[in-house]
Amino acid sequence: MNVADERLIAALDVPTRAAAERLVTRLGSSVGYYKVGMELFYALGGEIVTWLKERDKKVFLDLKLHDIPNTAAQGLCSLLRLRPDLLNVHTAGGLRMMRTAAEALRRASEEQGVPCPKLIGVTVLTSMDAADWTGLGHVDTIEEAVLRRAQLAQEAGLDGVVASPQETARIRRTCGDGFLIVTPGIRPAGVSNDDQRRVTTPAEAIHAGASHIVVGRAISGAQDPRAAAEHILREMEEA
């Protein structure tokens, strides 16, 4: 697996195990990292994560935990048995929740003698635009909120954040090179934005400083998913 392969995460946003297995099989060796989100995890539970790990795939378990500190922390620890490579919480839970979650996850990993997954924080969903944001009563801009939440995540001991391409460069400058920035909202040229609002191309995201990009329907909805993934990988390599 080369560097570009590691940085591309294909989203398994499908409703059934059969659909997930079919997509993974079609992608073959072109993709080594997958996102399992709410739709598939709520339908199948941990079995899909186990299936992917048995095939030497990396897994980003994207459940966006957001609750009181102890509940979020224990929820993360309960997911350790699945051996995910990347987990997330929502930064809206605040500094104390994030810090409690990060400390509990690392402690549980040590006690169980297993590698600790990277833990990142969701900043602001890429489906939100300025009108959505102000409609919630916020007076700051989305970019200001994302940067502040990224700084809080770093202060709490998280390994990185999920943020849109528009905020990536500023987070990279502020939080440094070692901080993970996982960037959804990636759309190659000519592909519909669907319900995403703050989007960009794979090359632009890498140039801005993304450590990983998450691509969903541009791969899963393509007539030839493997060719679509390989096109994205080439664009990332050129970037």
The answer to whether residue 118 is catalytic is no
Chain centre to alpha carbon of residue 223: 24
Q: Which residues are annotated as a binding site?
A: 13, 35, 62-71, 126, 187, 196, 216-217
Rounded to 10 deg, the angle between the 225-238 and 17-27 helix axes is 50
Is residue 64 part of the annotated active site? The answer reads yes
Question: Looking at 5, 64, 85, 194, which residue is catalytic?
Answer: 64
CA distances from 130 to 125, 195, 204 (A): 12, 14, 21
- Of 67, 85, 132, 194, catalytic: 67
Residue 3 structure tokens: 């560097």
Q: Is the dihedral of CA 138, 139, 144, 148 positive or negative?
A: negative
> Is 194 an annotated catalytic residue?
no
State residue 63 phi and psi, 5-degree precision: -115, -5
Closest C-alpha to 157, from 82, 81, 73? 73
Catalytic residue among 57, 58, 62, 159: 62
Q: How many CB atoms lie within 10 A of CB 236?
A: 22
At 181, the amino acid letter reads I
Between CA 32 and CA 27, with CA 195 as vertex, the angle to 5 degrees is 20
- The one-letter amino acid code at 141 reads T
Residues in the annotated binding site for substrate: 13, 35, 62-71, 126, 187, 196, 216-217
Under DSSP, the state recorded for 191 is -
Q: What angle do CA 108, 112, 114 make, to 5 degrees?
A: 95
Catalytically active residues, by annotation: 62, 64, 67
